[in-house]
Structure 1
Amino acid sequence: MRNLSVIILLFPLLLSSCRNSRNLELSEINGKQLNISDSIPADSSITNFITPYKEHIDREMNAVLAYTPYNLQKTDGELNTAIGNMMADAVMELASPVFEERTGKSIDAVLLNHGGIRSSVNKGEITTRTAFQVMPFENEVVVAEMKGTHINEMITYLLDAGTAHPVAGLELEIDSENKIRKVLIQGEPIVKEKSYYVATNDYLYNGGDNMVFFSRAVSVTSLDYKIRNLLIDYFREKDTIAPARDQRFIRIK
């Protein structure tokens, strides 16, 4: 009974203690600014630990994959550019076999975005680092099944944007008033009820750059193939990268 009495006596004290702890409030915060500069000596143990990894990454990033005889910039054309054409053609060339193996279907067109080209490619050696600079994002190739009516929406988007979004598989010719003079996909007129397969990236498929027409896709196939990795593979396969502006999307004045 003595032990029970002790417990009974202590119980109110414990309740009071718990109640008081819940009422605690923060009254003051103290901080101090630490300036990071060259005056802080390097920790040699950390440097020694990191150095082998940095050297390995540098070797990988600086590996020469191909060569280009001139600078490639995304500002070198109104409606199509050499670098944009290269990227769209690379997707068409390397994504098509993957898609065909998985589905038995062929890619009809490619649409990427002008803003996704994040760097120019300088004349000379093309390295792995070049691919990371041009495409630093983790975007992957997806193929959207689109009816011809929605391909027409895509064409309207390209007309309204008036930007050199990279395309392949399309031939689009407009006049000075933005009226269509010719539009073909794989060399043929667009058929409204026909299904077409358009390769793009997951960001655009999900409505990036206001490409909402992709929301009308009948189906979508992810290829598990990053655009950046695709570019690296493309560079490796080519000895010389020499794309050019062409007639795939032009304005007749």
Structure 2
Amino acid sequence: MKKLGIFLLILSLWSCADAPQKLAKIEGKQVRISDSIKKNEELENFIAPYRNRIKEEMEGTLAFTPEAMNKSDFQFNTPIGNMMADAVLEMANPIFKERTGKNIDVVILNYGGIRSGINAGDITTRTAYNIMPFENEVVIAELASGELEALINYLVQNKVAHPIAGLQVIFDAEGNLSEAKVNGEKIQNKNYYVATSDYLIKGGDRMDFFLEAKDVQSLDYKLRNLLIDYFKKKDTIAPVRDQRFIQLQN
């Protein structure tokens, strides 16, 4: 009888274990985070050296700008957009040329990707993180002349101050395309090398012309790191407005 009892107990427990379980009740309470919560001194002492090191890295001066720059300063040819496109051309072209023997013809980034302005005064590593908080990298797309013309038409139709370099777009008085030039020359029937971001190369911001690229090469170079290197290379970042976009008058 004793063995039978043990067997029935085991069978009962096994059956309960296999039975479907149902949630009976959920309980919770709100814990307010405020200054009243005491610091964990041991944890604070452990984190402090890392926090101080990060602050030192982020706040170290890389360059200087005499004037503030924001993407909303002008409709076109914004100093911050021009600076970013020029930085990509200057820093990425030597890498691309060393690997391929080719030169970058055009740079295009996106207006929406500029997430912050630059205040007048010291430019720091934090400045670069504020401008470009994403992990986007520089890629080079080989575009046929037809796709390059589609890129230009995109700029004309959107009329947004997307950062460009190596390219000049001229509107007529009505805002239609009058002329476009690459490095001072009219578009020819050949392939062009366009530097952009890995976000745009996938058709981001409706830049679908990049989906027709004949070839795409990644430089394994984050745009944010490129900006940091560019700032380190320059003593002063002077705001520049030029004639990348031109609006003709009647």
RMSD after superposition: 1.8
The structural deviation recorded for 1:13 is 5.6
Letter in 1 for 2:20: N
Output one character per residue of 1:153-185: Cα deviation in whole Å (capped at 9) or x when no partner: 101110111110000000111023122222011
User: Residues 91-170 of structure 1: matches in 2 within 5 Å?
Assistant: 91-170=88-167
Unaligned runs of 5+ in 1: 1-5
Q: TM-score, normalised by structure 1?
A: 0.92
Q: Which residue identity lines up with residue 211 of structure 1 in the other structure?
A: M
Aligned amino acid, residue 128 of structure 1: T
Once the two structures are TM-superposed, the CA of residue 14 in structure 1 deviates from its matched residue by: 3.7
Per the alignment, in what secondary structure is the counterpart of residue 161 of structure 2?
A: coil
TM-score by length of 2: 0.93
Q: Which residue of structure 2 aligns with residue 3 of structure 1?
A: none
> 2:133 aligns to what SS in structure 1?
coil
Equivalent position SS for 2:76 = coil
SS in structure 2 of the partner of residue 137 of structure 1 = coil
8 A Cα contact 1:139 1:203, kept in partner:
yes
CA spacing shift, 1:20–1:65, aligned 2, 3 Å = closer
Structure 1 residue 75 displacement after superposition = 1.1
Amino acid at match of 2:202: N
The Cα offsets for residues 65-99 of structure 1, whole Å up to 9 and x where unpaired, read as 11111111111221220010000000000100111
Which residue does 2:231 correspond to in 1? Answer: 235
Q: How many residues align?
A: 246
Identity %: 52
Comparing 239-248 with 23-32, which one deviates more in the overlay?
23-32
Quick one: which amino acid aligns to residue 228 of structure 1?
R
- Structure 2: gaps of 5 or more residues: none
Contact 2:67/2:239, CA 8 A, preserved across alignment: no
Matched, 1:71 2:68: yes
Check if 1:184 corresponds to 2:174: no
CA contact (8 A) 1:90 1:234 kept: yes
Looking at structure 1, the residues matched to 32 and 208 of structure 2 have their Cα atoms a distance apart, in angstroms, of 47
| Structure 1 position 12, deviation (Å) | 11
1:225 paired with 2:221, answer yes
CA distance in 2 between partners of 1:34 and 1:16 (Å): 38
**Could you tell me which of 26, 30, 33 is aligned with 1:29?**
26
Q: Aligned partners of 2:55 and 2:117: how far apart in 1?
A: 20
Q: Distance in 1 between matches of 2:105 and 2:235?
A: 26
Give the whole-Å Cα distance in 2 for the aligned partners of 1:166 and 1:116. 10
**Alignment partners' CA distance in 2, 1:235 and 1:26:** 58
Of 62-71 and 19-28, deviating more is 19-28
